[in-house]
Amino acid sequence: MKADILRQTDTITAPTEAGYWTSKQDPITGEIIRVWVPVDVDSVTSGTQPFSIKCMARGIMTGGVRAQGTTEQWGALYENIDYVTMEYGAGTILSKRDRVTNIRTAKNGKIIWVEEELPTTVSAALYFAPTIFEVKGITPMVGPFGDHTSNLAILERADVQ
């Protein structure tokens, strides 16, 4: 599977040159720091530039987060909650400020999580907008020999689609 990561940029403190923020680890202190990486202006298109990662995503159905999992509840407030676990490589750094969307199959690129309530038309075909998820938590997964093999993120459907 693959997913697109929407990284929040800081337009107030971002340098004026074209580029993007990335997270790196200081080799001496181990601190995670944000670093501005400049890029060639001619090679960048304007707007949000999501990047794709390889992953394995599964919905939490029952007994999961807060003992409820993916649910739709009516009451004083309507709640449409989707929880997803997403496992991805140890070399990819995500934060709770990132958003995840376009979770799709690797073979044919078909988007798996879509918003049925937000239909649009693309080339005269009915198309549903992909669901956007917020990163709620990240757990490093450690192999049998103590090495960091992958990460497991808990994703929750964002309130605003």
Q: Is residue 38 part of a domain?
A: no
Compute the distance between CA of residue 4 and CA of residue 56 in angstroms, rounded to an integer: 13
Q: Is residue 114 part of a domain?
A: yes
Q: Is residue 21 part of a domain?
A: no
State which residues form the domain around 62. Answer: 2-7+53-157
Report field, pTM of the whole predicted structure over 0.85: no
- 85 contacts 116 by C-beta, under 8 angstroms: no
- Which tokens sit at 95? 């934060």
Q: Is residue 96 part of a domain?
A: yes
Per-residue model confidence (pLDDT) at position 88:
95
Q: Is residue 29 part of a domain?
A: no
Q: Is residue 71 part of a domain?
A: yes
The residues pairing with 152 across neighbouring beta strands, listed in sequence order, are 87, 139
Helix (H) or strand (E) holding 70: none
Q: Is residue 74 part of a domain?
A: yes
Compute the distance between CA of residue 97 and CA of residue 94 in angstroms, rounded to an integer: 8
- Which tokens sit at 132? 């956007």
Per-residue model confidence (pLDDT) at position 40:
57
Q: Is residue 124 part of a domain?
A: yes
Q: How many structural domains comprise the chain?
A: 1
Q: Closest Cα to residue 131, out of 112, 107, 152, 109? A: 112
Q: Mean pLDDT, 10 residues at a time, over the chain (161 residues)? A: 81 54 81 73 50 91 58 69 90 88 91 78 68 92 93 89 73
Per-residue model confidence (pLDDT) at position 118:
65
